[in-house]
C-alpha cells in the first residue's frame, strides 16, 4: 500500500510538473510576439513645439505634414523637419485623427464625440458626421483616419473596446468593419495608395504594422518610440514618419 502510494504520488508529481511546464510554455506563447519583430530605428528625429501630437498625414506634397493636438484641439501644418508652418483656425474636441483629401479638404476625428469633421485648408468648418461605433469607454474611440484615392474609401480605426478597422465610402456610409487583434491598441493609420495597403501603428505595443485593406497583418516592426500616435508612409521612397504624443517628437524611418 505504501509503495503504491509512493508510486501514485510520483505519478501525480510528474503530471503536475508537466502541466506546469505546459502552462509556462503556452503562457509565454500567448503573450505578444512583439519581441520577434524586426526593430526599426529612426534615421532622423525632430522636436515639435506642439503638445500631445496625434495622427499624421501628408499634405499636397510629401514635404508637408498635418497633425492634430489633443491638448489644444487644433490642427497644424508642419514640415518634415518638425517646423510648424501654420495653425488652422478650427478648434475641435479631443482631436485624434487627420487626413488630407482631394488637395482641398482635411478630415479630422474627434475621439470622445465619435465624429468626423470636414474642413477646408484654412480650418473652416464644412460639415460633420457622427460615426455609429459602440462606446464602452469614452476615451477609447476614434484614433485615426486615412483616405484611399484608388477607391475613394475612408479607413478609420477605433482604438480599443472595441478595436476596429472601419471602412466607409466618401460620404461615410459604412461598407465594412473588421475586428483587430494583432496589437494591444491602435493609435494611427495611413493608406499606401500605390500598393493598396494600410499602415497601422500601436501606442501600447510600440509597433508599426503593414496590413491588408481588411486589417490582416502582412509585416510588423518594433519601434523605439514612446506613445506613437500618428503615422504617414510614402511608398515612393519607403519613408515612414511617426509622431509621439507624450514626447512631442517627429521620427523618420526608412523601410528596407
Contact partners, residue 130, CB within 8 Å, separation at least 6: 113, 114, 115
Spatial CA neighbour of 242 closest among 217, 219, 191, 208: 208
The H or E element spanning position 52 is none
Q: Which residue has the cell 514612446?
A: 226
Q: Determine how many CB atoms are found less than 10 A away from the CB of residue 12.
A: 10
Instruction: Tell me the average pLDDT across 24-51.
Output: 73
pTM: 0.85
pLDDT at 128: 97
Instruction: For residue 110, name the pLDDT band (cuts at 50, 70, 90).
Output: very high
pLDDT at 141: 86
Contact partners, residue 143, CB within 8 Å, separation at least 6: 54, 55, 96, 97, 109, 111, 157, 158, 159, 185, 186, 187, 188, 189, 229
72-93 pLDDT, tens digit per residue, is 999 999 999 999 999 999 999 9
Average pLDDT, the chain: 88
* Higher per-residue pLDDT: 18 or 119: 119
pLDDT at 14: 47
Is residue 30 over pLDDT 60? no
Domains of the chain by residue range = 1-31, 34-254
pLDDT at 138: 67
146-174 pLDDT, tens digit per residue, is 999 999 999 999 999 999 999 999 999 99
Q: Specify the CATH superfamily of domain 34-254.
A: TolB, C-terminal domain (2.120.10.30)
Q: Which residue has the cell 460633420?
A: 128
User: Which residues partner with 98 through β-bridges?
Assistant: 108
Question: What is the C-alpha separation between 158 and 175, in angstroms, rounded?
Answer: 15
Is residue 65 over pLDDT 90? yes
Amino acid at each position: 500500500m505504501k509503495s503504491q502510494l509512493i508510486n501514485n504520488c510520483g505519478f501525480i508529481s510528474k503530471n503536475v510538473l508537466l502541466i506546469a511546464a505546459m502552462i509556462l510554455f503556452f503562457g509565454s506563447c500567448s503573450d505578444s510576439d512583439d519581441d520577434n519583430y524586426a526593430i526599426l530605428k529612426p534615421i532622423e528625429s525632430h522636436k515639435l513645439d506642439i503638445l500631445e501630437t496625434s495622427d499624421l498625414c501628408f499634405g499636397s506634397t510629401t514635404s508637408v505634414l498635418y497633425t492634430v493636438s489633443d491638448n489644444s484641439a487644433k490642427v497644424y501644418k508642419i514640415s518634415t523637419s518638425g517646423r510648424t508652418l501654420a495653425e488652422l483656425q478650427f478648434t475641435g474636441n479631443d482631436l485624434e485623427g487627420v487626413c488630407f483629401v482631394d488637395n482641398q479638404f482635411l478630415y479630422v476625428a474627434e475621439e470622445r464625440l465619435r465624429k468626423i469633421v470636414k474642413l477646408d485648408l484654412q480650418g473652416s468648418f464644412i460639415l460633420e458626421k457622427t460615426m455609429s461605433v459602440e462606446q464602452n469607454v469614452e476615451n477609447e474611440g476614434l484614433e485615426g483616419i486615412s483616405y484611399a484615392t484608388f477607391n475613394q474609401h475612408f479607413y478609420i480605426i477605433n482604438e480599443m473596446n472595441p478595436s476596429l478597422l472601419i471602412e466607409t465610402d466618401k460620404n461615410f456610409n459604412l461598407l465594412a468593419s473588421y475586428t483587430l487583434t494583432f496589437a494591444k491598441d491602435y493609435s494611427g493609420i495611413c493608406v499606401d495608395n500605390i500598393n493598396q495597403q494600410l499602415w497601422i501603428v500601436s501606442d501600447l505595443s510600440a509597433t508599426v504594422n503593414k496590413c491588408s485593406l481588411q486589417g490582416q497583418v502582412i509585416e510588423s516592426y518594433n519601434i523605439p518610440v514612446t506613445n506613437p500616435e500618428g503615422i504617414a508612409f510614402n511608398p515612393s521612397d519607403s519613408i515612414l514618419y511617426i509622431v509621439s504624443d507624450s514626447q512631442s517628437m517627429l521620427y523618420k524611418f526608412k523601410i528596407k
